[in-house]
Amino acid sequence: MDNRHGSDQPTGDASLDAAMAWIARSAEAAVADLARMIAVDTSFPPGAGYDAFADLMDELIAPLGFRSSRVIVPDALWRVPGGPASGRRTNLIGERETGKPVLGLYFHVDTVPAAPGWDKDPLRLTREGDRLYGLGAADMKGTIAAVLLALRAAGACGLPLAYDPMLLFCTDEEGGLYPGVRHLAEQGLLKGHVLNFNGSAAPRIWSGCFGLFNLLIRLHGHTVHAGEGNRSGSGVNAIEAALPLLRALTDLKPVVARRTSALPPPPTASGPLAARLDIAAARGGICGGQVPSLFEILVCRRYAPEEDYEEARAEIETAVSRAMAGSPGIAVDIQLVGHLAPTGDPTGPHWPRWQAALSAGFGYRPDEFRAWGAASCSDFGWVQRTGMQEVLLTGLGRPESNVHSPDEHTTVADIVALAQSVLAYLAAGFAPELIPEKTDPNAVPTPGRGPQKESDR
């Protein structure tokens, strides 16, 4: 872990230096905010806590002068009959308009469910020294706490800003069928350019990422008393009938893994980024006295930008059809329950200033920055399809943070460094020569709604 946080070198702007120092002195306020956020269960699936989280965000951003509005994703876009998701898809937008260019600050508010193995309460912030443990601490509720700290510092120190911040608290990034930011983009509600906090606390130049889709495969048999299940023509055990299918999916896994991408891999990777197929979940059966009539398999497929989604999906469906051809009495249905499109090259005119801001907050040297992509996914592939190509990326993830794993955590030092980076980027006096809107007002197009294929609707 890099421990160089918050360089003490002055920025050349006295009001910015004062606000940076204010952040360092006021970190406990961010810790308190994070504790309240972690206590609201926004795990997806099911995604039932979005309204409660929006209520909390309303409370926290109102004193900062933000006017909030809620945008609900229509049920018809995201709800899958019998699928794992439930609850209302409530996205919150916070705006504070003064006529300056807009900077969107994007957060997905959902977390993955708490995995077995936590030795702490995942929905209660636990502090051990500098470490802050809790579900979503690094991915990505800690980033919200950092941004709120930066905005409070700007207000407390009277710091002039170059941008009007627009807060975007969005739903269903963790594998959802219709993420909230996709809906906002397709409704033309995004403005300016966007800083996406779904990344890492590293000197990284984001080069894009893979896409992801999740297929729910249901095998339907016939339930009878378990004692009658050995009689011809009686029960049909859906779990046992699934064994050929599980073998077929397992055989397909290495075939998929041979497909690699031209995206630059992370510096620590041992080879190129590769596609993946995983059996992510399997559910079936109720009790020992009953032949199970339903078995569900959740398949997760990560596909490279060079791959075609329709072809990748058809390959799995063909494997299912062939594997189940010799299973009379079993009905099979397949549903798409989650889809994130690949994110293409996200670079744009604002990157040099964001890189300078990261250096101001985390203390990174310019020669430490490296460009790499990821086999992990982002909901900004959908945003790019509406016309907004440039996406800045940051976050609190580190290899040791246990993101999506038991005992996920971030650190107070990283929250402070991220808050200082965001504050520097927002500040009018920081690297003004790197503000594209000052040098070329036409350099940053207004996002628009791009065409959609029928299969994307």
Residue 278: CATH number of its domain: 3.30.70.360
Does residue 410 fall inside a structural domain? yes
Is the domain of 320 the same as that of 350? no
Is the domain of 20 the same as that of 139? yes
Is the domain of 288 the same as that of 352? no
- Residues of the chain with pLDDT > 70, as a percent, come to 92
Does residue 184 fall inside a structural domain? yes
Is the domain of 61 the same as that of 179? yes
Does residue 6 fall inside a structural domain? no
Residue 447 in this model has a pLDDT that exceeds 90 = no
Is the domain of 95 the same as that of 131? yes
> What are residue 200's DSSP bridge partners?
397
Is the domain of 240 the same as that of 159? no
Task: State the Cα–Cα distance between residues 137 and 135, nearest whole angstrom.
Answer: 6
Instruction: Fill in the amino acid letter for 42.
Output: T
Is the domain of 201 the same as that of 232? no
Smallest Cα–Cα separation from 174: which of 115, 125, 235, 219? Answer: 115
Does residue 242 fall inside a structural domain? yes
Is the domain of 237 the same as that of 376? no
Confidence of residue 204 (pLDDT cuts 50, 70, 90): very high
**Contact, 142 vs 410, CB < 8 A?**
yes
Give the pLDDT confidence of 366-407 residue by residue, as tens digits.
999 999 999 999 999 999 999 999 999 999 999 999 999 999
Domain C-terminal end among 296, 329, 362: 329
pLDDT of res. 2: 45
pLDDT of res. 377: 92
Does residue 2 fall inside a structural domain? no
CA distances from 74 to 110, 337, 383 (A): 18, 15, 18
Is the domain of 182 the same as that of 236? no
Does residue 334 fall inside a structural domain? no
Residue 223 or residue 109, greater confidence: 109
pLDDT of res. 454: 34
pLDDT of res. 219: 97
Is the domain of 236 the same as that of 283? yes
Q: Which domain holds residue 366?
A: 12-208+342-439
Is the domain of 235 the same as that of 313? yes
How many domains is the chain partitioned into structurally?
2
